[in-house]
Structure 1
């Protein structure tokens, strides 16, 4: 977890993680002898990028504070 980031920075982190994951998935699959491997690699890279982006920007330690209810 990087920390609490402003919305624009979180979006940039997500975008960069997705782009890098898709490109690396397609690049790795490019060396496969299958003709549709680059597209499949890009799809697997996209899925890995979504997971990576979630892990990078999600705050796993935050939880809602208990709300006290007062009855009169």
Structure 2
């Protein structure tokens, strides 16, 4: 899901962002950390919107929310 081809398909730009799951040992990318559950991060990688407040970090507002 985090392959360059998948990110391009879903139109996700993670430049300067490191996604960090807080419920499992997983992270992806480099840069400013954005954390949340693995499920929420997977939804972000697929271009989905999350309810406000589900992600934490200085760049979390960069991702769309409902």
TM-score (norm 2): 0.26
Q: 1 or 2 for the larger relative contact order (CA 8 Å, sep ≥6)?
A: 1
Kindly name which structure, 1 or 2, has the bigger radius of gyration based on alpha carbons.
Answer: 1
- Name whichever structure is richer in helix by fraction: 1
- Name whichever structure is richer in strand by fraction: 2
